[in-house]
Structure 1
Amino acid sequence: MFTFTDQYQFEWPVRVKMPAGGEDQVFEFDGIFLLPEDEMEIFEAQPAAQGVGDFVTFSRERLAKYWIGWKGIAVEGGGDLPFSPAARDKLLKKRPIRLAVDAALTEAVLGIREKN
């Protein structure tokens, strides 16, 4: 039986392509996301931007609303990186991670897969 909830959470694989030795090295972790109340939120129009910095800030803020946890992110020296809003915000400052989280959320919610 399906049980409806306004705060539906789900896990989805996030594939991060980090530059290494002239090519991309792919790392994967499971992102934990909050399903938007309306899929149109994914296409939410950005306010009038003054430059690239405004676009990046808008993207980080939009993703932070839906990216609520993770599994499988380690830290140097061993151990897992615990989720916190501060850790999430730090990760979203890294372009490859931000792009990967955005692609995973889009793929999960809208069914649009990234072309390789």
Structure 2
Amino acid sequence: MFTFDPDYTFEWPVKVKYPAKGGDEVREFTGVFRLPDDELDIYERGDDTSIAGVITTVRDRLSRYWVGWSGIEVKDGTELPFSPETRDRLLRQRPIREAVDRAMSEAVLGIREKN
């Protein structure tokens, strides 16, 4: 039987590509996401066409749906606990923001990146 859950959450791998000598260094963690009510929300870019405006809109959108994680550590090896403030801080880094956006698109829209 199918049970509709309007607050459905799911885990999905997030692969962060950091620039490194000779290519990318990929670091992975598991993101916890809330399924959007409407898939069109995934495409939201806002009315402001400036780079800063688009980035701000993407950060705001992702902060509504990225609701947790596991596998993110700090330098001393302890797990980084989830909080909205920490999530927003992570979203300010381009590699993380793009990885979270890519992971959400893969999961919700079924769009996979080619290797």
User: TM-score category by the smaller chain?
Assistant: over 0.9
CA-to-aligned-CA distance 1:49-94 (integer Å, 9 cap, x gap): 3x21111111100110100000000001120000000100010001
- SS at the partner of 1:109? helix
Unaligned ranges ≥5, structure 1: none
Quote the offset at 1:38 in angstroms.
1.1
Structure 1 segments (4+ residues) deviating >4 Å: none
Q: How big is the alpha-carbon RMSD for the aligned residues of Structure 1 and Structure 2?
A: 1.1
Unaligned ranges ≥5, structure 2: none
Partner of 2:48: 48
The count of residues paired between Structure 1 and Structure 2 equals 115
Partner of 1:61: 60
Quote the offset at 1:2 in angstroms.
2.5
Inter-partner Cα distance in structure 2 for 1:99 and 1:112: 14
Identity of aligned residues (%): 57
Inter-partner Cα distance in structure 1 for 2:18 and 2:43: 26
Q: TM-score, normalised by structure 1?
A: 0.94
Inter-partner Cα distance in structure 2 for 1:111 and 1:82: 28
